[in-house]
């Protein structure tokens, strides 16, 4: 019997028991659909996180304070008063390959305007922040170098803060008050940042920006040892990504020399490090989701084996007749393997359609105001096809072998 004839007989056998065949396929359909749908969720999350990290800027290094230790007790990373504006100026001046250094620090405060108020993060930085951190102004303008040097009382609002305080009215030119404890100062709004959304580092739309000099000397009055101005982060932009390792080494050597320390009192993290870590986390999540969905594929495979064993039992006499008229053992084996393969393949194709539908439906779901992103990739569809076919073959081998081993005389006696 040739392959074409085997497929024809397989479809006839499955058509004779349509309901049973459909129920057998259901396990594969659900399994393949779940694998594609959940994998799409994992891939979508991976892509969204990657894009959010990349939206922070291009070729960035993040230099942050280290920790302090007193009496054998170590404080949290970032708590040591070690980084200053002067450190950033030295990096920009002395390290080859650095195109810009943007100092950044801040604290939470109450922002008040027109009877409305919001508790948000007040970030102090310089005029290069929008370019280095890839965060554009949607209305008005960002503060200038002159306003930075003169410690002007100007503020740029994040998109959510502007909407909360002023609704749909442009806040540019209006006055807001920033209050922390007993200190309360008035600021003139000169701009509103474009909406950027949340990341693993907080929602970038729930921030207001003021000149770092104003924040340190008038609002929060932060000062380091020796009169240097403290910062929480130095955002260092480099010209070429390939120079990252060398620049990290040079910055480390420079800061150790400036701080006169043998053990680093700072940390340096590159954008690539963050991307790699995030990719590992989301990759594990994707694998976990796929593995959970894969359990249903295993159950579907067991269902195929069960039904094929029933089919062998029901068709024992038919097998005997075929052997009696010259069918070889491999013909019987191939016949039942093809039937198992057809069940899993058809179920897999329907499951792919179901999985794509699930992914599209999940893409319409909104979590915390943000749409759940899903990405269906060709490799996940191909994997689902291969796995479903492999399941058909694997779980069909035993029933097919059992059918092929039947003795023709005993099979003809079977009632």
Q: Do 246 and 309 fall into the same domain? A: no
Tell me, yes or no, whether 352 and 298 share the same domain.
yes
Shared domain for 24 and 148, answered yes or no, is no
- Distance from C-alpha of 358 to C-alpha of 390, rounded to nearest angstrom: 23
Give the whole-angstrom CA distance, residue 54 versus residue 128. Answer: 18
**Domain match, 189 and 283 both:** no
Higher-scoring residue by pLDDT: 95, 282:
95
State the maximum Cα–Cα separation within the chain, in Å, rounded to a whole number. 104
HSE value, Cβ hemisphere, 13 Å, CA-based, for 172:
12
Whether 11 is in a domain gets the answer yes
Lowest mean pLDDT of 43-52, 290-299, 397-406, name the range. 397-406
- Residues 171, 244, single domain; the answer is yes
Task: Among 264, 297, 328, identify where a domain stops.
Answer: 264
Is residue 161, in this structure, part of any structural domain at all?
Answer: yes
pTM: 0.66
- Among 194, 200, 103, which residue's Cα sits nearest to residue 157? 194
Q: Clarify whether residues 124 and 211 are in a common domain.
A: yes
Mean pLDDT of the chain: 80
Q: Tokens 């594609």 appear where?
A: 36
Verify that 253 and 205 share a domain, yes or no.
yes
| Residue 272 is assigned to a structural domain of this protein | no
- Report helix angle 378-405 to 18-54, nearest 10: 150
CA of 152: how far to CAs of 114, 143, 219, 310, 401, in Å? Answer: 22, 9, 11, 84, 85
**Which is more confident, 334 or 111?**
111
**pLDDT of 200 above 50:** no
In a domain, 241, yes or no: yes
Question: Residues 243-267: what's their mean pLDDT?
Answer: 85
Pick the most confident of 35-39, 208-212, 367-371, 405-409: 208-212
Residues 117 and 254 in one domain: yes
Contact 123, 208 (CB under 8 A): yes
Residue 75 pLDDT exceeds 50: no
Return the percentage of the chain with pLDDT > 70, whole number.
84
Q: What are phi and psi of 306, to 5 degrees?
A: -60, -50
Please check the confidence at residue 319 and state whether its pLDDT lies above 80. no
Which of 264, 291, 321 is where one domain is finished?
Answer: 264
pLDDT value of position 309? 76
| Residue 68 located in a structural domain | no
Confidence of residue 226 (pLDDT cuts 50, 70, 90): low
Domain final residue, candidates 237, 264, 291: 264
The confidence score (pLDDT) of residue 222 equals 58
Q: Single out the residue of 217, 191, 199 nearest to residue 53, CA to CA.
A: 199
In whole angstroms, what is the distance from residue 91 CA to residue 313 CA? 80
* 253 and 338 fall within a common domain: no
Higher per-residue pLDDT: 2 or 390:
390
Q: Is residue 327 part of a domain?
A: yes
**pLDDT-based confidence at residue 70 (cuts at 50, 70, 90):** very low
Range of the domain at 327: 3-53+279-413
Tell me if 359 is assigned to some domain.
Answer: yes
pLDDT at 369: 58
State how far the Cα of 139 lies from the Cα of 129, in Å rounded to an integer. 16
Question: Are 98 and 241 found together in one domain?
Answer: yes
Per residue in 321-380, pLDDT tens?
A: 776 767 677 777 777 777 788 888 888 888 888 888 888 888 777 666 566 778 888 877
Mean pLDDT of all residues in 32-60? 79
Is residue 406 domain-shared with residue 296, that is, in the same domain?
yes
Of 90 and 72, which is predicted with more confidence?
90
Give me the helices (H) in 67-125, please. Answer: 85-94
The CA dihedral of 72, 78, 82, 85, to the nearest 10 degrees, is -170
Q: Note whether 108 and 233 are same-domain residues.
A: yes
pLDDT at 158: 92
Strands annotated E in 115-199: 116-125, 137-140, 154-157, 175-180, 183-193, 198-199
Greater model confidence, 265 or 408: 265
User: Which whole number is the average pLDDT over 238-255?
Assistant: 87
Of the candidate ranges 3-7, 141-145, 254-258, 407-411, the one whose mean pLDDT is the lowest: 407-411
Residues whose CB is less than 8 angstroms from the CB of residue 301 and which lie 6 or more positions away in sequence, other chains included: 27, 28, 344, 391, 392, 394, 395
* Mean pLDDT, rounded, for 261-286: 79
Number of domains the chain is built from = 2
Q: 403 versus 169: which is more confidently predicted? A: 169
Give the pLDDT band of residue 80 (cuts 50, 70, 90): low
Residue-level pLDDT at 197 = 67
Decide if 64 is inside a domain. no
Digit-coded pLDDT (tens) for 121-151: 999 999 999 988 888 899 999 999 999 989 8
């Amino acid at each position: 019997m040739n392959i074409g004839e085997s497929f024809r007989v397989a479809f006839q056998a499955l058509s004779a028991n349509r309901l049973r065949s459909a129920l057998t396929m259901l396990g594969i359909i659900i399994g393949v659909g779940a694998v594609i749908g959940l994998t799409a969720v994992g891939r979508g999350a991976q892509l969204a996180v990657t894009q959010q990290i990349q939206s922070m800027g291009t070729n960035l290094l993040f230099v942050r304070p280290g920790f302090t230790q007193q009496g054998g007790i170590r404080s949290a990373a970032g708590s040591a008063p070690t980084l200053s504006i002067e450190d950033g100026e030295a990096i920009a001046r002395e390290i080859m390959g650095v195109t810009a250094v943007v100092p950044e620090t801040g604290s939470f405060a109450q922002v008040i305007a027109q009877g409305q108020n919001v508790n948000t993060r007040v970030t102090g930085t310089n005029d290069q922040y929008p370019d280095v951190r890839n965060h554009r102004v949607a209305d008005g303008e960002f503060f200038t170098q002159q306003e930075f040097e003169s410690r002007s009382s100007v503020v740029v609002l994040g998109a959510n803060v502007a909407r909360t305080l002023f609704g749909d009215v442009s806040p540019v030119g209006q006055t807001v008050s920033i209050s922390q404890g007993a200190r309360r100062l008035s600021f003139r709004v000169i701009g509103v940042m474009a909406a950027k959304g949340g990341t693993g580092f907080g929602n970038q739309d729930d921030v207001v920006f003021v000149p770092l000099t104003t924040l340190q000397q008038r609002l929060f009055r932060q000062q380091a040892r020796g009169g240097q101005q403290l910062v929480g982060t130095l955002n260092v932009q480099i010209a070429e990504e390939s120079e990252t390792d060398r620049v990290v080494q040079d910055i480390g050597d420079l800061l150790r020399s400036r701080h006169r320390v043998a053990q680093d009192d700072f940390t340096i993290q590159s954008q690539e490090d963050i991307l790699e870590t995030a990719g590992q986390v989301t990759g594990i999540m994707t694998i976990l989701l796929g593995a959970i969905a894969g359990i249903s594929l295993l159950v579907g495979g067991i269902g195929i084996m069960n039904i094929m064993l029933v089919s062998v039992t029901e068709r024992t006499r038919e097998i005997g007749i075929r052997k009696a008229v010259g069918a070889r053992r491999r013909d019987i084996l191939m016949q039942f393997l093809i039937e198992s393969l057809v069940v899993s393949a058809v179920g897999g194709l329907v499951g792919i359609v179901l999985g794509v539908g699930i992914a599209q439906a999940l893409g319409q779901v909104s979590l915390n105001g943000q749409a759940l992103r899903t990405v269906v990739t060709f490799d996940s569809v191909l994997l689902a096809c291969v796995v479903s076919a492999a399941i058909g073959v694997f779980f069909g081998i035993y029933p097919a072998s059992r059918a092929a081993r039947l003795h023709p005389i005993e099979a003809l006696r079977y009632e």
